[in-house]
Structure 1
Amino acid sequence: MKILMNDELIDREQAKVDIEDRGYQFGDGVYEVIRVYNGEVFTIDEHLERLKRSAGELKISLPYELETLKNRIRELVSVNQVRDGGIYMQVTRGVSARNHLFPGSDVSAQLAAYPIPSKRPAELQKSGVEVMTAEDIRWKRCDIKSLNLLGNVMAKQAAADAGKYETIFVRDGVVTEGSSTNFYAVKDGTVYTHPANHFILNGITRLKIMEACQNAGVDTVEKEIMASELGQYDEVFISSTTIEVMPVVKIDDRSYSEGRPGPITLLIQKAFRELLTD
């Protein structure tokens, strides 16, 4: 396997991370996961624009222009012959002596990218999944796709320990998103999802789902969803780059759509997949 380290493609065995890399010591960096379908990098422009925005919010200067990075990512996909999978990419503030203060301008950001396995979870998309809710204990800049994911990791593990697929966060009574997913609820044929503010990551798949809804004639509304009102909704689903549109059939002890994916969710699944062939 070839790895992209800064602007060089090297063998995985050659890839090294300095112990004073700020990503390693502080989680001081940002990342993206990009899906590859049939050898094509899906929504690469949107992902790279979000990477640039996240880095900018943390005052990290990307080491390369986006067009250069796009070409290197496509080269990485080609040289590794990735057909159906994904690319993980991260940028840290760089390598410097451990200090909470930002290093000087002589320290350059460090970039790494490599292929990851990623296949559509087709069977779960057909059957739906069960999830649980938990308090959202994360920081208030969830719109930045940073390397600081400990709250997400703990929530994901709590779900696994409870035999659930995902944890859905609730902040001050409001449903925000999942530990690695965006959240949607359906009522009378309309899809509701949390506004794209500092409390959620504005997922690229989320944006494509809203496009798919428009194509399918399904109305979408961005509004706060109260946890106390979850029982009023007809269907629920979650999304991410790797799981696409995933039906939720149970939240805690509350079932939806008689324990199977609902009709609007299935319609959106179909509309989303049609975007992949455009």
Structure 2
Amino acid sequence: MAAMISMQKVFLNGKFIDKDSAKISIFDRGFIFGDGIYEVVPVVNSTMVERDGFWDRFQRSLSEISLNLPYSKGEFETILNKLIKINSLKEGGLYIQITRGIAPRDFIFVKGIEPTIMAFAFADSVLENPKSKSGISIISTEDIRWKRRDIKSISLLGQCYAKNQAAIAGADECFMVENGYVTEAGSSSAFIIKDHTLITKPLSNEILPGIRRNKLLSLATQIGLKVQERKFSMSEVYNADECFISAATIILLPVIKADGKAINGGKIGQYSLKLRELYKNSLITEANKIKEIK
């Protein structure tokens, strides 16, 4: 899964500017402490999709670390839509980041300063990701992150460490393991299917509440799958009928190998294919409806 490469125009503190001209202070608390949160919104047919899920989680993360966005929902969506337009973005996503702002180095949440607000657009194949047809491989890694993973924090060193281990091993992604059970993947939600049952870890402070996660649980029941929200181990992953990950701009990618062991004989399962197709079609429908309203 490739790194995000931003398009030419970015939004920074009220202005749309060339990405090479965008600068922040070395005293920004995001730079010094990782004191901030981020979000990623998928774009299909030049339209933001799953906006409500994005906004709810964005607002929740801000609230959890006492940060305020100085824009209403409508004002901020106008900014994001302009970012799509000036970059002529057809398909991909928007990366949004807000930090507490610039202040003398102090560990407390400094009050009375202006937040730093940044967003950029990036192109990506959301609907027809080539990995959705070939499947991906993962390895298991120890989950060494902090205990508030439900906050979409910009402090991602634990994830970087885990995903770098995966890259060294020649894998596409990793499943992080804590106390013998999978928490989530390095930058995505983790799922297995066994005996016609979709299994994923329950929501708590131990995982990020994936926006795709909720939709997939709903779609699963529509195609005859039972749903269990419970812990599962890597042994269950190895012996699963199917396994997959989900995230903002990948929708769903099937996992066909874990720690060198083939899942489902190394073949993509029928439910993974059905779920991705249903999800993809729902995003296309949503984007088309939004464009009609505009």
- What amino acid does structure 1 have at the position aligned with 2:53? E
| Equivalence for 1:36 | 43
| Equivalence for 1:97 | 104
SS of equivalent to 2:252: strand
- Equivalents in 2 of 1:42, 1:96: separation in Å? 35
Matched, 1:129 2:136: yes
How much has 1:51 moved relative to structure 2?
1.0
Aligned partner of 1:18 among 25, 42, 61: 25
**TM-score (normalised: structure 1):** 0.95
How much has 1:79 moved relative to structure 2?
1.6
Contact 2:136–2:255 (8 Å) recurs in 1:
yes
Aligned partner of 1:112 among 115, 118, 122: 118
Unaligned runs of 5+ in 2: 1-7, 286-294
- What amino acid does structure 1 have at the position aligned with 2:204? N
Aligned partner of 1:277 among 261, 264, 284: 284
- Equivalents in 1 of 2:139, 2:239: separation in Å? 17
Contact 1:181–1:238 (8 Å) recurs in 2:
yes
SS of equivalent to 2:159: helix
1:117-172, Cα deviation, whole Å (9 max, x unpaired): 22136321112111100111101111110001001001111101100111100110
**TM-score (normalised: structure 2):** 0.90
Alignment: residue pair count? 277
- What amino acid does structure 2 have at the position aligned with 1:174? Y
SS of equivalent to 1:89: strand
| Equivalence for 2:289 | none
Q: Determine what percentage of the aligned residue pairs are the same residue.
A: 36
- What amino acid does structure 1 have at the position aligned with 2:68? S
Contact 2:240–2:264 (8 Å) recurs in 1:
no
1:4-51, Cα deviation, whole Å (9 max, x unpaired): 112322232332111110001100000011111110101122112211
How much has 1:221 moved relative to structure 2?
1.7
| Equivalence for 1:165 | 172
- What amino acid does structure 2 have at the position aligned with 1:111? I
- What amino acid does structure 2 have at the position aligned with 1:96? A
- Equivalents in 1 of 2:56, 2:238: separation in Å? 37
1:178-218, Cα deviation, whole Å (9 max, x unpaired): 11011000011111001111111111122222232233333
Contact 2:44–2:284 (8 Å) recurs in 1:
no
| Equivalence for 2:160 | 153
SS of equivalent to 2:11: strand
Aligned partner of 1:225 among 232, 247, 272: 232
Moved more, 114-123 or 144-153: 114-123
Matched, 1:55 2:59: no
Contact 1:19–1:25 (8 Å) recurs in 2:
yes
How much has 1:81 moved relative to structure 2?
1.1
Q: CA RMSD in A?
A: 1.4
- Equivalents in 1 of 2:233, 2:20: separation in Å? 48
Moved more, 236-245 or 112-121: 112-121
- Equivalents in 2 of 1:261, 1:198: separation in Å? 31
Unaligned runs of 5+ in 1: none
Aligned partner of 1:209 among 216, 223, 232: 216
Q: Which residues in structure 2 correspond to 1:57-76 (within 5 Å)? A: 57-76=64-83
- Equivalents in 2 of 1:122, 1:51: separation in Å? 26
- Equivalents in 2 of 1:214, 1:203: separation in Å? 18
Moved more, 11-20 or 210-219: 210-219
Q: Which residues in structure 2 correspond to 1:231-242 (within 5 Å)? A: 231-242=238-249
Contact 2:95–2:121 (8 Å) recurs in 1:
yes
- What amino acid does structure 2 have at the position aligned with 1:179? G
How much has 1:104 moved relative to structure 2?
2.3
Contact 2:94–2:119 (8 Å) recurs in 1:
yes
- Equivalents in 2 of 1:11, 1:95: separation in Å? 22
How much has 1:110 moved relative to structure 2?
1.3
| Equivalence for 2:252 | 245
- Equivalents in 2 of 1:220, 1:66: separation in Å? 33
- What amino acid does structure 2 have at the position aligned with 1:60? L
- Equivalents in 1 of 2:149, 2:106: separation in Å? 24
